[in-house]
Amino acid sequence: MPTHTVINPATEQPVRQVEQTTVEQVDEAIQRAVRAQQHWREVAPADRARLLRRFAELVDACVEELAALETANSGHPVGAARWEAGQVRDVLMYYSAAPERMTGRQIPVPGGLDVTFKEPVGVVGLIVPWNFPMPILSWGMAPAIAAGCTVVAKPAELTPLTAMRIGELALDAGLPEGVFQVLPGKGSVVGQRLVEHPAVRKIVFTGSTEVGTQIMAGCARTVKRLTLELGGKSANIVFADADLDKAAATAPYAVFDNAGQDCCARSRILVEASVLDEFMARLEPAVQRVQVGDPSDAGTEMGPLISAAHRAHVASYVPDGAPVAVRGTVPAGAGFWYPPTVLAPVPADSPAYTEEIFGPVVTVTPFADEADAIAKANDTPYGLSGSIWTSNVGRAIRVARGVETGNLSVNSHSSVRYWTPFGGFKQSGLGRELGPDATDAFTDVKNVFIATD
Ligand code: TAP
């Protein structure tokens, strides 16, 4: 059986060998999920709710263990990893309320009674990237299970450990076998089989726009339902009337969080030209203050990148002679480190300005006025996230309506809150996750007419 050696990106040392799932094993898992779903959809809503709550409680009891695993596997600072494990608990708890609230409609029609049911779509294939292994797993898994689906999840090859542990906790919580399975392995093997298999009725994919487009084409063959969460190149728009101290102090965290490996990273800072120099003077010390180092140290704010290959990719956006305005520091020695880096000024056709870097590199570009800010923010095929800094309420609303993106925050950098819908415009995705309606993405509407005559 093929294996993959999980590497700690902060030390470059092996953590564990993980057996890779074969195509035959994927098929067996899908058959288990099909059988389990026949039973799971019949479990009384209150019992499904109770099992989800018990699952959440077990995750809560294991937050420290899960955080330590993520820190070793992904290099996430331990404080962030604790938050991520806590998010799995919170998302499970939030959707534990869903089974008892999945109401249909009663629609007035002549000659009878018309009602709708929300029927679970069936087996869901959940394909997860390496950047946030725990939260992204939970955003698909929890509402799908709550809706009466069963889930076969594929974590990224590089980061399988927390997903595998969460799969064990599901069984410990009493979820029937086959309701939630985790299959470590390669995208080209396990992921592709989930997309191809006719018994899988829906794919939830988070990852690159490049792979997402292949998956969309693959799903067309069996008319699979599909949710896509893809790349981003989001703008952080700072107007002259903003609280510049706060805007500059928070801007580094809006892009260097998770070492920039964040689909919502505000990797293009757009600043009103009249305050560009003032902003840059405040941004430099804020970047230098970012604590980069040992992820197991509670004070660390930024860890390493996920792999040597990814570091080389990130570095390619900052060739010799690149306009580096600010550069932070990184630890010496082993680890896939890359310093927080600010590029300015950058030409509008520079790859660092137009492409998703997925690393701790941000560009700063001036804009002339409100219309120019919106035009520049929208000048990208992506539309996932973004921030607007201004003290003018009307402007905040106008710009928020003008920017073509799925998730905006005004005078903050908040992006993903499990209470609210999350997803992308344009090539950043299809469909929405999270929020009160997330279970709808795992159901088909059935209409039933009952004649009274
Ligand atoms: P990808 O290379 O696209 O991989 C994502 C997942 O797809 C991995 O599990 C991968 O498996 C699997 N995969 C690869 N090829 C596949 C195929 N042919 N069929 C089925 N599955 C396949 O992305 P990544 O580099 O891991 O993640 C970074 C990207 O994800 C960035 O673009 C980022 O913006 C995006 N992202 C988006 C969001 C949201 S919410 N919009 C959130 C996080 C990340 P292997 O890794 O095992 O090959």
Residue 295's pLDDT is 98
For the domain spanning 235-417, the CATH number is: 3.40.309.10
| Angle of CA points 228, 180, 447, to nearest 5° | 65
62 is catalytic: no
* Ligand 1 geometric centre to CA of 208 (Å): 5
Closest ligand 1 atom to the C-alpha of 130? 26
Task: Domain ranges for the chain, please list them.
Answer: 3-230+428-451, 235-417
Q: Whose CA is nearest to atom 32 of ligand 1?
A: 208
Residue of 62, 149, 263, 264 marked catalytic: 263
Q: What is the pLDDT along the chain (453 residues), one digit of tens a residue?
A: 799 999 999 999 999 999 999 999 999 999 999 999 999 999 999 999 999 999 999 999 999 999 999 999 999 999 999 999 999 999 999 999 999 999 999 999 999 999 999 999 999 999 999 999 999 999 999 999 999 999 999 999 999 999 999 999 999 999 999 999 999 999 999 999 999 999 999 999 999 999 999 999 999 999 999 999 999 999 999 999 999 999 999 999 999 999 999 999 999 999 999 999 999 999 999 999 999 999 999 999 999 999 999 999 999 999 999 999 999 999 999 999 999 999 999 999 999 999 999 999 999 999 999 999 999 999 999 999 999 999 999 999 999 999 999 999 999 998 799 999 999 999 999 999 999 999 999 999 999 999 998
* Ligand 1 geometric centre to CA of 39 (Å): 31
Whether residue 75 contacts residue 338, with contact meaning beta carbons closer than 8 Å, is answered with no
Question: Of all helices (H) and strands (E), which one includes residue 227?
Answer: strand 225-229
Closest ligand 1 atom to the C-alpha of 384? 41
Architecture of domain 3-230+428-451: 3-Layer(aba) Sandwich (3.40)
CB-based contacts of 188, cutoff 8 Å, min separation 6? none
Q: What are phi and psi of 118, to 5 degrees?
A: -100, 105
CA atoms of 150 and 40, how far apart (whole Å): 8
Residue 6 has which token pair? Answer: 């999980």
Stated pTM of the model: 0.97
Q: Closest Cα to residue 280, out of 401, 364, 367? A: 364
Closest ligand 1 atom to the C-alpha of 132? 43
70 is catalytic: no
CA atoms of 390 and 403, how far apart (whole Å): 15
CA atoms of 303 and 49, how far apart (whole Å): 37
CA atoms of 417 and 415, how far apart (whole Å): 6
Whether residue 51 contacts residue 100, with contact meaning beta carbons closer than 8 Å, is answered with no
Residue 336's pLDDT is 98
* Ligand 1 geometric centre to CA of 112 (Å): 48
DSSP state of 257: G
Q: Closest Cα to residue 290, out of 260, 322, 320? A: 260
Tell which one of 74, 87, 188, 205 to mutate to probe ligand 1, the residue whose CB is within 8 A of the most ligand atoms: 188
* Ligand 1 geometric centre to CA of 230 (Å): 8
Q: What are phi and psi of 399, to 5 degrees?
A: -70, -40
| Ligand 1, CB cutoff 6 Å, lining residues | 127-132, 136, 154, 156-157, 186-188, 191-192, 195, 206-208, 211, 214-215, 229-232, 263, 356, 358, 384, 424, 429
Residue 46's pLDDT is 98
Q: Whose CA is nearest to atom 16 of ligand 1?
A: 187
Q: Closest Cα to residue 219, out of 206, 240, 243, 202? A: 202
Residue of 229, 272, 356, 433 marked catalytic: 229
Tell which one of 130, 258, 417 to mutate to probe ligand 1, the residue whose CB is within 8 A of the most ligand atoms: 130
